[in-house]
Amino acid sequence: MHHERIAIIDYGSQYTRLITRRLRELGAFGLVYHGGITAAEIVGADLRGVILSGGPNSVLEPGAPDLDPAILSLGVPILGICYGQQLLARNLGGRLHRSTSREYGKAKIETSGGISVLFEGLPHLQTVWMSHGDHVEEAPPGFIVTAKTPTVPVAAMEDAARGIYALQFHPEVTHSSQGTPLLLNYLKRCGMLLDWNAGNFIDEQVKAMRAQVGSGTVVLGLSGGVDSSVAALLLHKAIGQQLTCVFVDHGLMRKDEMKQVQAYFAPFELNVIWVDASDEFLGALAGVTDPEQKRKIIGGKFIEVFEREAGKVKADFLGQGTTYPDVIESSGIGGAILVKSHHNVGGLPERMKLQLVEPLRELFKDEVRATGLVLGLPEEMNQRHPFPGPGLAVRLPGAITRERATILQNADAIFLQELRESGWYARTSQAFAVLLPVQTVGIMGDERTFEWMCALRAVTSEDFMTADWARLPHELLDRIAQRIVREVRGINRVVFDITSKPPATIEYE
What are the Cα distances from residue 346, in Å, to 114, 145, 291, 365, 389? 55, 50, 18, 20, 11
**Contact status: 342 vs ligand XMP (CB under 6 A):** yes
Contact residues for 284 (Cβ-Cβ < 8 A; gap 6+): 297, 301
Which residues within the stretch 450-489 sit at the binding site for ligand XMP (CB under 6 A)? 464
CB of 300 to ligand XMP, least distance (A): 13
Would you say 209 or 232 has its CB closer to ligand XMP?
232
Contact stretch for ligand XMP (CB under 6 A) within 59-67, 280-288, 474-482, 498-506: 498-506
Could you list the beta-strand ranges (E) of 24-98.
29-34, 47-52, 78-81, 95-97
Would you say 36 or 386 has its CB closer to ligand XMP?
386
> Of these, 257, 316, 326, 507, which contacts ligand XMP (CB under 6 A)?
507
CB of 507 to ligand XMP, least distance (A): 3
Site string for ligand XMP, 422-441 (x = CB under 6 A): --------x-----------
User: 428: phi > 0 → left, psi -120 to 50 → alpha, else beta; which?
Assistant: beta
Would you say 14 or 500 has its CB closer to ligand XMP?
500
Cα–Cα nearest to 355, from 491, 465, 216? 216
**Contact status: 389 vs ligand XMP (CB under 6 A):** yes
> Of these, 390, 405, 412, 491, which contacts ligand XMP (CB under 6 A)?
390
Q: Which three-class secondary structure state does DSSP give residue 503?
A: coil
What are the Cα distances from residue 388, in Å, to 30, 70, 298, 507? 29, 45, 12, 9
Cα–Cα nearest to 140, from 203, 199, 72, 196? 72
> Of these, 97, 210, 427, 501, which contacts ligand XMP (CB under 6 A)?
501
**Contact status: 499 vs ligand XMP (CB under 6 A):** no
**Contact status: 394 vs ligand XMP (CB under 6 A):** yes
Kindly state the DSSP code that residue 162 receives in the 8-state scheme.
Answer: T
CB of 39 to ligand XMP, least distance (A): 38
**Contact status: 388 vs ligand XMP (CB under 6 A):** yes
Would you say 116 or 223 has its CB closer to ligand XMP?
223
Q: Quick check: 374 and 199 in contact, CB under 8 A?
A: yes
Q: Is 292 a catalytic residue?
A: no
Which residues face 243 on adjacent strands?
Answer: 218
Site string for ligand XMP, 343-382 (x = CB under 6 A): -x--------------------------------------
Q: Is 451 a catalytic residue?
A: no
**Contact status: 321 vs ligand XMP (CB under 6 A):** no
Handedness of CA 459, 462, 468, 471 (dihedral sign): negative
Characterize 286-306 residue by residue with b for buried, 16 or more Cβ atoms within 10 angstroms of its Cβ, and e for exposed: eebeeeeebbebbbebbbebb
**Contact status: 54 vs ligand XMP (CB under 6 A):** no
Which residues within the stretch 64-123 sit at the binding site for ligand XMP (CB under 6 A)? none
Q: Which three-class secondary structure state does DSSP give residue 384?
A: coil
- What secondary structure does DSSP assign to 320-367, as a single string? ----HHHHHHHHT-TT--SPP---TTTTHHHHHT-EEE-TTTT--HHH
Q: Is 245 a catalytic residue?
A: no
Residues constituting the chain: 509
Say which of 172, 309, 418, 509 is annotated catalytic.
Answer: 172
> Of these, 69, 386, 437, 473, which contacts ligand XMP (CB under 6 A)?
386
**Contact status: 149 vs ligand XMP (CB under 6 A):** no
Q: How far is CA 495 from the centre of its chain?
A: 31
Contact residues for 501 (Cβ-Cβ < 8 A; gap 6+): 459, 461, 466, 467
Q: Quick check: 153 and 194 in contact, CB under 8 A?
A: no
Would you say 178 or 430 has its CB closer to ligand XMP?
430
Which residues within the stretch 256-295 sit at the binding site for ligand XMP (CB under 6 A)? 295
Would you say 118 or 433 has its CB closer to ligand XMP?
433
Please report, as ranges, the residues that interact with ligand XMP according to CB under 6 A.
Answer: 295, 342, 344, 386, 388-390, 394, 430, 464, 501, 505-507
Catalytic residues: 82, 170, 172
